[in-house]
Amino acid sequence: MAPRILLARHGQTAWSLSGKHTGRTDVPLLEEGRHGAKLLGERLHRAPLDGLPGVEVRTSPLVRAAETCALAGFGGRAEPWDALLEWDYGAYEGLTPGEIQAVRPGWLIWRDGVPEGESIAEVTARADEVVAWARAADRDVLLFAHGHILRSLAARWLGFPLDFAARIRLNPTSLSVLGWAYGEPALESWNDVGHLAG
């Protein structure tokens, strides 16, 4: 079996709700986010996934991802990994895209990067590290992390430059699967939030 990456974005926080760039600031989940994480866990533990026996679980060490992982029922199986930290937004931490564009019209993180934070090349290198690790063994992996790093992983899994990630939105507490089609890396499913309707 060729390995797949299952991507779980953390639950809703006050900053994700308001659209603020939340990089390394350790913002906790809202009650809505905790509830969504439990619903995600229920989905991952029922057929056809059945708790993903044998899957290797990694999580960003930031509380919003680690708590989502724990509430979903995978905390005891998860290993924290700094490679899954969110993009370091530097001077743009805590700002919304609108606030940034007010001083830098036309700004797009995937093209323009951020001052005093991680470069596009650095984020690409981290995403490539995770993709290489996931492909190195014959097992699926489940990752709990953040919107921009997970979108970056998808772009790099597919072999595209990081700016491809601008075209794939990712909601809080969503589940996505990166897999294979005809021997080529593929999006098996993306930004699935069907479990949140429950």
Q: Kindly report the CATH number assigned to the domain that includes residue 49.
A: 3.40.50.1240
**Across-strand partners of 57?**
78, 142
The answer to whether residue 132 scores a pLDDT higher than 80 is: yes
The answer to whether residue 198 scores a pLDDT higher than 70 is: no
Exposure string of 170-190, with b = 16+ CB inside 10 Å and e = fewer, is bebbbbbbbbeeeeebeeeeb
User: Average of pLDDT values for 147-156?
Assistant: 98
Instruction: Write down the pLDDT at residue 33.
Output: 96
Cβ atoms of residues 121 and 127 within 8 Å: no
Q: Look at residues 46, 47, 58 and name the one whose alpha carbon lies nearest to residue 8.
A: 58
Apex CA 152: angle with CA 113 and CA 171, to 5°? 100
Sign of the four-CA dihedral 60, 61, 66, 67: negative
Mean pLDDT of the chain: 94
67: containing domain: 5-197
> Does the active-site annotation cover 188?
no
Instruction: Write down the pLDDT at residue 137.
Output: 79
> Does the active-site annotation cover 86?
yes
The answer to whether residue 1 scores a pLDDT higher than 60 is: no
Q: Which of 86, 146, 148, 195 is catalytic?
A: 86
Instruction: Write down the pLDDT at residue 90.
Output: 94
pTM: 0.95
Q: Which of 10, 21, 148, 195 is catalytic?
A: 10
Q: How far apart are CA 133 and CA 171, in angstroms?
A: 25
Count of structural domains within the chain: 1
Q: Looking at 1-10, 52-61, 142-151, 158-167, which range is the least confident one?
A: 1-10
